[in-house]
Amino acid sequence: MIVVDTDILIDALNGREPAVSWLLDVLSKNEIATTAVSQFELLAGANSPSSLEKIQALLENLDIMPLDSRSAETAAGIQRQLGETGQGIGMADSLIAGITLARSAQLATQNQKHFARVPGLKLAHVR
């Protein structure tokens, strides 16, 4: 399972490469999803009715992974651990990483350096 981060979805919505080609490729080959956190970020950032329609159409083609109890516990551990070392990645990204780790999935993100700080998180490369 590949979980797609918000940044890739935004780039795909805006027609930017390599996000568009990569997303089309993995949609046909792999089981992919995004998180409820990314869903929130996309919907909150919609700045017009047409933008909202594009976002909703994209989200309809993805499984949305919720923030459940196990994910919340995992995310809280990430937040504490990285915060203690001064390497925090922010609450939203901790939640995304927690959801992904709790489901033993890979995270596809263009922010590889940022998410590489999360112990045990497998990152998928977008090419």
Q: How far apart are CA 22 and CA 115, in angstroms?
A: 19
User: Does position 43 have pLDDT exceeding 80, yes or no?
Assistant: yes
Q: Which residue has the tokens 């927690």?
A: 98
Residue 69 and residue 102: Cα distance in Å, rounded? 10
Backbone angles phi, psi at 12, to 5 degrees: -65, -45
pLDDT, tens digit (0-9, with 9 covering 90-100), for 89-120: 999 999 999 999 999 999 999 999 889 999 99
Q: Which domains does the chain have, with CATH numbers?
A: 2-124 (3.40.50.1010)
What was the pLDDT predicted at 20? 92
If you average pLDDT over residues 62-84, what whole number do you get? 97
Is pLDDT at 8 greater than 80 in this prediction?
yes
Q: What is the pTM of this model?
A: 0.93
Q: Which two tokens stand for residue 8?
A: 């890739």
By the 10 Å C-beta count (0-12 exposed, 13-18 middle, 19+ buried), 103 is classed as middle
pLDDT per residue over 9-37, tens digit each?
999 999 999 999 999 888 888 789 999 99
Q: Across all residues in the chain, what is the average pLDDT?
A: 94
pLDDT at position 126 over 90? no
Q: What is the pLDDT of residue 116?
A: 96
Closest of 107, 121, 117, 114 to residue 6, by C-alpha: 107
Amino acid identity at 69: S
Residues 6+ apart with CB under 8 A from 123: 106, 107, 108, 109, 112, 115, 116
